[in-house]
Amino acid sequence: MNKVVDYSVIKSLLRDGMTLMIGGFLGCGTPEGIIDLIIEMDLKNLTVICNDTSFVDKGIGKLIANGNAKKVITSHIGTNSESGKRMNEGSLEVELSPQGTLIERIRAAGSGLGGVITPTGVGTLVEEGKEKILLNGKEYLIEMPLKADVALVYASKVDPFGNCYYQGTTRNFNPIIALAADTVIVEAEEVVEVGQLNPEVVMTPGVLVDYIVKGDF
Amino acid sequence: MAVDAKVAKEIIAKRVAMELKHGQLVNLGIGLPTLVANYIPKDVYVTLQSENGMVGMGPTPEAGKEDRHITNAGGQYVTINNNGAFFDTAMSFSLIRGGHVDITVLGALEVDEKGNLSNWIIPGKLVPGMGGAMDLVTGAKKVIVAMQHTAKGDLKIKKACQLPLTAKGQVDMIVTELAVMEVTEKGLLLKEIHKETTVDEVIKLTEADLIIDENLKVMDL
């Protein structure tokens, strides 16, 4: 089974108004080619779920600077001046979620769990509008799962079935978002033959992946 | 005691480094806390975590030897030691929230005598976001705030934080270029002062009430 396609197929899968999860941490481990495609298509009103909004000229930051997103659910926007500017102007809605909570909300959606019960954020602005529960004498927040229409995953190596390997710190959100979207697209630095990835080092099983595109990193 | 920012940061980093114990897992925040790594005593082996996905973080690579697949939580190129490990964000924050990180060192906009910390937002002015700070402060076994004692004359160690909190009552220790303070049930305990300052100066530059330790020491740097 070969899931490798070219960018024209990826283009046909993306539309205005979609909710996208995108991998990467300050641009490390982000599918840059698909970001560039979204900018070229000039998609509008996207909701983007990601760790951070990177830098103005790198990774997810480019989408923000180009005005493709109407909302971002993230843990940090401080390294991208366009995020704060657009938020203040009112053209970008920013929902901040603590990093550990954000990843667990995504994992919960992708793992069939009804939510996350976490002590992080208790006694802060993060608890506003959320249910709190007391368990064994300690307060926790109930945080809701997060799903997306499409997950845009970076991989260092992928085989044609979609088995992914992530090098170094590029892994970050990538294997988790691959669980939580209706359609999962992988952009890889290298596409290897089936059998070349040792099953022991596969970090995302190919069964989760729908489409693969070879990136130019 | 008047010192420039560079000297102040060096004093703070040196003193925080003395808190690290052999075998501990430690997370150093971006900026000043990162400098702590330069002063860890030779006979103390600690493992550094970077919350973007590794333990066993090593030093900055030599020029020309950077690997774009290996960055720290500030987005800079780093290296990994030969006993290190890479993982995803869920594992990284399980280490953090799960109490596996022994010490986290962070900066602060404000910290108060009840151990409350504000370091992620100045409403209407600066909204960088909390990143991993809320999880780190909530989950780490010991929370050390490392910062300059005042900011352009403004007092940062408050009776009560005015800015939105990062976490409630989680700070254990505050280290500045002037003093070392511990958060106790009775309030802030002044444990050490720098040799070039006085208790009176520290009190003057601290809004919170200070309890002076009977065994008050001079920082042994």
Question: Does residue A80 sit at the B interface (CB-CB below 8 Å)?
Answer: no
CA distance A137 to chain B (A): 16
Closest-approach residue (CA) in chain B for A175: B88
Q: B173, B182 in Cβ contact below 8 A?
A: yes
What value does the mean pLDDT take over residues A54-74?
A: 98
Structure confidence at residue B2 (pLDDT): 83
Classify residue A101: in a domain, yes or no. yes
DSSP tag of A67: T
Percent of chain B at pLDDT above 70?
100
Evaluate if pTM is beyond 0.95: yes
Within 8 A of A51 by CB-CB distance, chain B residues are 89
User: % helix / strand / coil in chain A, to the nearest 5?
Assistant: 30, 30, 40
Full residue range of the structural domain in which residue A193 is found: 7-113+146-214
Question: How far, in Å, CA of A144 to CA of A131, rounded?
Answer: 10
Q: Do A123 and B93 touch (CB under 8 A)?
A: no
Q: B142, B63 in Cβ contact below 8 A?
A: no
CA distance B79 to chain A (A): 10
* Cα pseudo-dihedral A83, A88, A93, A95, rounded to 10: 80
Structure confidence at residue A31 (pLDDT): 98
Q: Do A118 and B96 touch (CB under 8 A)?
A: no
Structure confidence at residue B79 (pLDDT): 97
Within 8 A of A52 by CB-CB distance, chain B residues are 129, 131
A151, A159, B104, B205 from A98: Cα distances, Å: 20, 33, 16, 32
Residues B14-73 have pLDDT tens digits of: 999 999 999 999 999 999 999 999 999 999 999 999 999 999 999 999 999 999 999 999
Q: Do B93 and A104 touch (CB under 8 A)?
A: yes
Structure confidence at residue B80 (pLDDT): 98
Q: Do B169 and A123 touch (CB under 8 A)?
A: yes
Classify residue A129: in a domain, yes or no. no
Question: Does residue A77 sit at the B interface (CB-CB below 8 Å)?
Answer: yes
Classify residue A186: in a domain, yes or no. yes
DSSP tag of B103: E
Q: Which of A60, A120, A153 to mutate to test the interface with B (most CBs of B within 10 A)?
A: A120
Question: Does residue B67 sit at the A interface (CB-CB below 8 Å)?
Answer: yes
Residues A75-113 have pLDDT tens digits of: 999 999 999 999 999 999 999 999 999 999 999 999 999
B110 is catalytic: no
Question: How far, in Å, CA of B48 to CA of A105, rounded?
Answer: 26
Classify residue A87: in a domain, yes or no. yes
Considering its fold, how many domains does chain A have in total? 1
Domains of chain B and any CATH numbers: 5-218 (3.40.1080.10)
Which ipTM did the prediction report? 0.97
Low pLDDT (below 50) residues in chain B? none
Structure confidence at residue B150 (pLDDT): 97
Classify residue A131: in a domain, yes or no. no
A18, A58, A187, B134, B221 from B30: Cα distances, Å: 34, 20, 30, 14, 23
State which amino acid sits at residue A37.
L
Q: Which of A169, A189, A204 to mutate to test the interface with B (most CBs of B within 10 A)?
A: A169
Rounded to 5°, the CA angle A88-A92-A94 comes to 85
Q: What CATH number is given to the structural domain containing A69?
A: 3.40.1080.10
Under the banding of pLDDT at 50, 70 and 90, the label for residue A217 is confident
Structure confidence at residue B16 (pLDDT): 98
CA distance B108 to chain A (A): 15
Classify residue A132: in a domain, yes or no. no
Structure confidence at residue A187 (pLDDT): 98
Structure confidence at residue A168 (pLDDT): 98
Structure confidence at residue A86 (pLDDT): 97
Classify residue A51: in a domain, yes or no. yes
Q: B78, B60 in Cβ contact below 8 A?
A: yes
Question: How far, in Å, CA of A155 to CA of A214, rounded?
Answer: 10
DSSP tag of A112: T
Classify residue A27: in a domain, yes or no. yes
Question: How far, in Å, CA of A86 to CA of A91, rounded?
Answer: 5
Residues A147-201 have pLDDT tens digits of: 999 999 999 999 999 999 999 999 999 999 999 999 999 999 999 999 999 999 9
Question: Does residue A66 sit at the B interface (CB-CB below 8 Å)?
Answer: no
Residue A170: partners with Cβ closer than 8 Å, 6 or more residues away: A24, A28, A29, A154, A156, B69
